[in-house]
A and B are shown apart, each in its own frame.
Chain A
């Protein structure tokens, strides 16, 4: 075991999975699970060149910690790691990594989806798509803005 409680981080460099894996080790765990979100090249007809992420850092860390504490209780997790990358995240590289361990697999499967859904709703992190045709837009789901166009 490396740590107790959730491990939360915002990083400007590539997420180093090999340094995170040990953080969810626990002798009582029967399941380890990871979700890794990566930059996708194609969304419908749009070809993404790269993504940029920015955050309200202090608030994002606070929201991630709240989210993690809730998930630990809700799913009886043994350990939990959430790391989000900021700045440029090129195609196929990881923007977010969430790992958890639990006694049995249902809790791990359920927790990963629950955490991602909450993260995408409440944690103040935003992505800006840079498309191959040179257009750029902030992704603000369900927002009506002049500057960026529709959210895919």
Chain B
């Protein structure tokens, strides 16, 4: 099966932004597998629905840690939000989605 790389842009906030010195980073994520639904739960790493290829949240988090090692300590406590909604680790993310890394919050 062919493996291609998807580039996902991830918005960074608070300490994540300070650790990398950037408010948005590009992360390369492998997208090797056919997938039935861009938003469905899947055990695979990625998928393709027509033109909408996707990768899973857990793949994005893993790739972030590999490509931005300065985030590694913070990542285990972070959540990922896709299009302004918190999402679980196996959810598929399309390339054009807005992805944000959400460190533990401290409003109030």
Check: A134 CB closer than 8 A to any chain B CB: no
User: Whole-angstrom distance between the alpha carbons of A140 and B70 in the complex?
Assistant: 16
User: Whole-angstrom distance between the alpha carbons of A128 and B106 in the complex?
Assistant: 9
B107 lies within 8 A of A141 (CB):
no
B84 lies within 8 A of A143 (CB):
no
A140 lies within 8 A of B14 (CB):
yes
Check: A54 CB closer than 8 A to any chain B CB: yes
A140 lies within 8 A of B15 (CB):
yes
Task: Tell me the chain A residues, 108-134 only, with Cβ under 8 Å from chain B.
Answer: 116, 119-128
If over half of A's interface residues share one DSSP class (helix, strand or loop), that class is named, otherwise mixed; here it is mixed
Complex partner residue of A59 from B70, B74, B84, B108, CB under 8 angstroms:
B84
For B13, what are the chain A residues with a Cβ–Cβ distance below 8 Å? 54, 56, 124, 126
Give B78's nearest chain A residue, CB to CB.
Answer: A143
Complex partner residue of A56 from B11, B15, B76, B108, CB under 8 angstroms:
B11
User: Whole-angstrom distance between the alpha carbons of A96 and B108 in the complex?
Assistant: 6
CB contact under 8 A between A145 and B105, given known A59-B81, A140-B14: no
The interface size of chain A toward B, counting residues with CB under 8 Å, comes to 35
Task: Tell me the chain B residues, 92-108 only, with Cβ under 8 Å from chain A.
Answer: 100, 102-108
CB contact under 8 A between A53 and B107, given known A124-B13, A145-B15: yes
Check: B19 CB closer than 8 A to any chain A CB: yes
Cβ of B70 to closest chain A Cβ, rounded Å: 8
Give 14 pairs: A residue, B residue, CB < 8 Å, sorted on A: A56-B100, A56-B102, A58-B84, A59-B100, A62-B85, A95-B107, A95-B108, A96-B107, A119-B107, A120-B107, A126-B106, A139-B106, A140-B15, A143-B77
A-B contact sample (20 more), CB < 8 A, given A140-B77, A151-B106: A55-B107, A56-B13, A56-B81, A59-B81, A59-B102, A60-B107, A95-B107, A96-B107, A122-B105, A126-B13, A126-B107, A138-B18, A140-B14, A141-B104, A143-B78, A144-B73, A145-B73, A145-B74, A146-B19, A147-B15
Q: Which residues does B use to contact A, with CB under 8 Å?
A: 11, 13-15, 18-19, 70, 73-74, 76-78, 81, 84-86, 100, 102-108
